[in-house]
Structure 1
Amino acid sequence: MARLILLNKPYGVICQFSPSPPHQSLADYLDVPDVYPAGRLDTDSEGLLLLTDSGALQARIADPKHKLPKTYWVQVDGAPGDADLEPLRCGVDLGDFVTKPAQVRVIAEPPGLWPRTPPVRFRAAIPTSWVEIIIAEGKNRQVRRMTAKVGFPTLRLIRAAIGEYTLAGLAPGQWHELRVAAPKPPAPVAAPGRPKQRGRRGPNKVR
C-alpha cells in the first residue's frame, strides 16, 4: 500500500520542501518523511496538492497521458456569459500549444470558502465572477492563460479536486493521509533479439 497525502496548500507556499525565502515551503506544513508532490501547484495558487511515497502512483497522478481530471475554482475579473466561455470548451490557441476541450461553467462563490491572505485586489467598477474549469492537462499556468485568452483574467485560483480526491473538510494548511493501492510499475520492455543470420544462397549450379 502507498501513502497518499491530501494537502490544502495555502496561497504563497512554494511546492517544494527545501527553504525558499521569502516563501513558505511544504516543510512548514508537513513533517512527513519520504513523500513527494504528485504534480505541482503554482505558488500563487491554492488548494489540493497530492503527495505520495510511491513513484508509480506519483506518475499516475501527474502524467497527463492518464487524463486524470483536475477541477479548478477560478475567480475572474469581469462577468463572463456562457458564450464568452465557449472557446474554452473547444480548445484555445495559447501560442505554444492548443488546449484540449475543457469543461467550463459559471458557478456561485464556493460555499465555505476561506478568505485569501493577502486578499485579492478588486476594482470597484468591475464585478468578479467564479468559474469552474475541469481539464486533464497541466501545462505551466494553463488555467490563468486560458481565462486571460478569452478576456477574463484570473484573480484567484483554487484547485478543488484531482480525480476522486477533493478538498472537502480541509482548511488551508491542513492535510490528511490515506492508504491506497499503488499501481504496478510498467513491465520492462525486453530488448529485441538479434535476428538470425541466414546464409547467402549462391547461384544455382548448372548440372
Structure 2
Amino acid sequence: MKHQHYILYKPYGYLSQFISNDSKQQRKKFLGNLYDFPNGTMAIGRLDEKSEGLLFLTTDGSFSNHICSHKIEKEYYAQLNGVITQDAISELEKGVEIGFNGKKYTTNPCRVKLLPTPPSLPDTIQKIRDDRHGPTSWISITLQEGKFRQVRKMTSAVGYPTLRLARVRIGKIRIEKMTAGEVIHSPSLHEII
C-alpha cells in the first residue's frame, strides 16, 4: 500500500486527532470534519485545541515516529499580552523553567524575535483582546522540541501570556498562503528533514 501524506492548516477550535469514543469529547471538532482522510491517517505531532497552523498527517506510522524523534525546527507566531521586552526575549532564548507532567522542566535554547508588525494569518473565530484593552506584541519563536503547550507555558513564564498561537513552519515547509482548514495532499513529506 502506498502511504498518503497531507499538509493541513489546523483551524482554531479543532483537536489534532480523529473521532474519539470519549463521551466528554462528542461535541468537539476533529480533523476528520475537515477532509475525507483515508483510514489509518494520523497527525504527526499535535497542536492544542486553542492553537492553529501547520500540521502534517500521514498513513505511515514509521515516518511519523521518525519525524517526532528528530530535532526538526518548528516555528510559531505568538501574539502576547503586553509589549514584550528584550530581557524577556533573552530569557526565552536561553530557556525557561516550565511545568511538564507534574515536574519542573527547563526548555532548550531557542530562537526568538520580535515581529515589527502583526503577521498575515487567516481570520479566526477566536475572540482575541485587541489594543483597546491594552497593547499586544507578536514574536516568532523557533524550537526543536515540543512539550505539551510549551510555547504558551514559556511566554507565561516570562510574564507575557499568549493570546493567539500559530505554527507557521515545520522544517522547510511553511504555511505560506494557506487558509484555515485547507488540506494539501502531498506525495511526500520527506523533504522537510
Query: TM-score scaled by structure 2?
Result: 0.87
Cα displacement string for residues 98-139 of structure 1 (whole angstroms, at most 9, x for unaligned residues): 00001000112113x222203213463420111000001110
Identity %: 36
Q: Which amino acid aligns with 2:75?
A: T
Distance 1:78 1:182 in 2: 39
Counterpart in the other structure of 1:163? 171
Q: CA deviation at 1:3?
A: 2.5
Among candidates 28, 48, 58, match of residue 52 of structure 1 = 58
Q: Which runs of 5+ in 1 are unaligned?
A: 184-207
Cα displacement string for residues 44-79 of structure 1 (whole angstroms, at most 9, x for unaligned residues): 10001100111121012222xx11000000000000
Distance 1:181 1:132 in 2: 23
Question: SS state of the match for residue 58, structure 1?
Answer: helix
Question: SS state of the match for residue 123, structure 2?
Answer: coil
Q: Which runs of 5+ in 2 are unaligned?
A: none
Give the direction of change, closer, same or farther, for the CA distance of 1:32–1:73 in structure 2 (3 Å limit): same
The structure with the largest alpha-carbon Rg is 1
Query: TM-score scaled by structure 1?
Result: 0.81
Native 8 Å contact 1:88 1:146 kept in 2: yes
Distance 1:155 1:116 in 2: 12
What is the number of residues matched between the two proteins? Answer: 180
Question: SS state of the match for residue 50, structure 1?
Answer: strand
Distance 2:132 2:76 in 1: 25
Give the direction of change, closer, same or farther, for the CA distance of 1:118–1:89 in structure 2 (3 Å limit): closer
Give the direction of change, closer, same or farther, for the CA distance of 1:56–1:150 in structure 2 (3 Å limit): same
